[in-house]
Amino acid sequence: MKRPLHEVAQFARSEVLNYLIEKGATVDPLKRADWTPLMLACTKTGSKACSCIANLLEANANPLLRNKDGWTSLHIVCRSGDLNAFDLLLKHSISCINDRSNNGRSAMHIAAFHGHEPLIERLATVNSDFLNAKDSSGSTPLHEAIKGGHLTASVRLVKLGADVGATDNVGQTILHVAALTGNTCAVRYILKNNLIDVHTVALFNVTPLVAARRSNHADTIKCLIEFGAVK
C-alpha cells in the first residue's frame, strides 16, 4: 500500500519527508511492486532528491531492499544518473554495488544503457571488473551502451578497458547490436576503428548486415556495405 512517505519521496519533498520521519513514519514500507520511499527518492535528481535520500538513510532506510524486478536503490540511481545520490548510497553501504537484478543486470549495465558517463567512470574506478560483467542474456555494459544509442558512453567504456570482442548468449558482438538497433554512428565508429570485422558471424549465421536488414535500417545497411559487407 502506498503511504504518505512514498508520495513525498517520489516528488522529492524533503521538508515534508523530514516531518513525517520525525513523527514516526516507517521508513521502509512497501507499496505495490515492492518500492520503498528510498527507491522512489532515487528516481529523482538534484539537491532536493539527495536531501531526501540522505535523510532516509540517516533514519535507517535499507538500501539493500529489492523491488519485484530485483532492483535496489543503487540500480535506480544508475538509471536516473545522479552522481551525488550514487555516492550517498555507496557511502552508506558499499556492498550494494555488487547487487544484480533478477535478469542479472549490474549497476554498470544500467548506467551504460542510459549513457551516464560520470557513473560509468566511478563504477570502473571502484572495480574494473564491472566493465565486462555479463547479464543473464550475456550482454556486457558495452552492448548496453550501444543498444541505448549512447556513442560517447560507448567510447568511454572502450577507453576504460571494455572488451570490444565480447559476445552475448547468441554470439552477437557490439557490431551486431549496433546494426540491429540502427545505431549507424556506432557502426561507423566500430568499423572505422577496426574493433570488429564487418563479416563477423553470430549464431544461425547472422552477420551485422543480416541484422540490419531484419530491422530494415536503410542507413545502417548502407554504412555496412560501404565498409565491405557483402550485399
Q: Is the pLDDT of residue 22 over 70?
A: yes
Q: Is the pLDDT of residue 230 over 70?
A: yes
Averaged pLDDT score across all residues of the chain: 93
Give the domain CATH number at 40: 1.25.40.20
* Mean pLDDT, range 111-134, rounded to an integer: 98
Residue 75 lies in a domain: yes
* Mean pLDDT, range 152-161, rounded to an integer: 99
Q: Is the pLDDT of residue 168 over 60?
A: yes
Rounded CA gap, 193 and 43, in Å? Answer: 36
Can you read off the three cell numbers belonging to residue 158?
572502450
Rounded CA gap, 27 and 61, in Å? Answer: 6
Residue 110 lies in a domain: no
Backbone angles phi, psi at 25, to 5 degrees: -60, 140
Give the tens place of pLDDT for each residue, 52-110. 999 999 998 999 999 999 999 999 999 999 999 999 999 998 989 999 999 999 999 99
Residue 78 lies in a domain: yes
Residue 186 lies in a domain: no
Number of separate domains in the chain: 1
DSSP class of 196 = S
Residue 201 lies in a domain: no
**What domain range is 80 assigned to?**
1-99
Residue 224 exposure: Cα atoms within 13 Å on the Cβ side = 29
Burial track 110-129 (b if 16+ CB lie within 10 A, e otherwise): bbbbbbbbebbbbbbeeeee
CB-count burial class (<10 Å; 0-12, 13-18, 19+) for 39 = buried
Residue 176 lies in a domain: no
pLDDT band for position 21 (cuts 50, 70, 90): confident
pTM across the whole model: 0.92
Residue 168 lies in a domain: no
Rounded CA gap, 113 and 49, in Å? Answer: 22
Residue 147 lies in a domain: no
Angle, CA of 185, 191 and 197, to the nearest 5°: 140
pLDDT band for position 222 (cuts 50, 70, 90): very high
